[in-house]
Amino acid sequence: MNGFFQLMVAWGVLLLFVLMLYMIDKFNFVFSSYAQADTPQTYTDGLFGELFGKPLWDAMSGLPIPGIEKKLVDNLKPHYEPVLRQHIEQVFMEGYQHAREGTLGVPSNNRMIPTPRGALESWLPLHHLSSIYQAGSEFYSTPDVDILRIQQNLDQITSMLYARVGISLLDPYSRTLMVHPVGVDRSFVQAANATSSAAASSASSANPSPFAAQPESPLGQAAPVQAGVEGSNVGQVAAQVASQPGASPEAWSAPAPNFEVQADEKVFLEPNLGSLNEQQVTQSPA
């Protein structure tokens, strides 16, 4: 009986010890989660100090920040340019990738940017980021004939961002970003290009240009084209052409039709070396 009682006591002590370990581990887990929520986020790049996120953009764009001197901001601008560049490149490539996956959305203002000293939170205005994001998505999905428009939009937005922070932009972003990665399948865009080209060709053949070359007259000049020319006008033009020096009577085989001039009308043919088919009709007063 004593042996059985001692065995039960030993098992009870062991279970109590295991329960205490479990409770201590659970308590540490709950406490650590609360401690991380209360701890402010830290950044490993100490060069910018307290400037990160939107205050960093405000300081670089010229807005006064309490406790930050203008001289310090001017000294930090050369170090801020790589941060701004990576932010723009990441947003453009994000739009390009989302267009490939069919998951287009809205870019976020904040983004963690790696630096040689660690990482830094960058913030850019949403309307500029949306334009850069859209340029990346359109670069993948639109036909190649719209490349010039996308290039102009991208260079314009990036130039505005650099002008806001007072940094010179030496190389346009379109020169480095608007290059399709190797292995990207854009066959559907090429098919759309071929379809649009075929449609344009068929439309141009169906509707010829009104400025197409006209047949030449026997005198070597382009025959005048007028809609609804009356017989009297044709006869006058033929008579004028026949009266020109060096013109043969066979130049115009069709005889000039007869026409009558009303009593209240007088027809004056004024010579015009540039256009032989022009005429001036003056109505006599009643």
Q: Is the pTM of this model over 0.85?
A: no
By C-alpha distance, which of 25, 163, 181 is closest to 97?
181
> Which residue would you say has higher pLDDT here, 34 or 218?
34
pLDDT in the model for residue 121: 94
CB 122 within 8 A of CB 113: yes
Query: How far is the C-alpha of 197 from the C-alpha of 205, rounded, in Å?
Result: 12
**pLDDT exceeding 70 applies to what percent of the chain?**
60
pLDDT in the model for residue 243: 54
pLDDT in the model for residue 30: 75
Say how far residue 213 (Cα) sits from the centre of its chain. Answer: 38
CB 44 within 8 A of CB 119: yes
Q: Which residues contact 277 (CB under 8 A, 6 or more apart)?
A: 224, 226, 233, 237
Burial of 39-50, coded b for 16+ CB within 10 Å and e otherwise, reads eeeebebeebee
Query: How far is the C-alpha of 132 from the C-alpha of 90, rounded, in Å?
Result: 10
Please give the mean pLDDT across all residues of the chain.
75
Contacts by residues 217-222 (CB-CB < 8 Å, ≥ 24 positions apart)? 217/241, 218/251, 218/252, 219/244, 219/247, 219/251
Q: Which residues contact 165 (CB under 8 A, 6 or more apart)?
A: 57, 60, 61, 77, 80, 84
Query: How far is the C-alpha of 267 from the C-alpha of 284, rounded, in Å?
Result: 10
Query: How sure is the predictor about 232, in pLDDT bands with cuts at 50, 70 and 90?
Result: very low
In sequence order, the β-bridge partners of residue 267 are: 281
Mean pLDDT of 220-225: 47
**3-class secondary-structure state, position 36:** helix
> Which residue would you say has higher pLDDT here, 257 or 66?
66
Query: How far is the C-alpha of 14 from the C-alpha of 20, rounded, in Å?
Result: 10
> Which residue would you say has higher pLDDT here, 272 or 25?
25
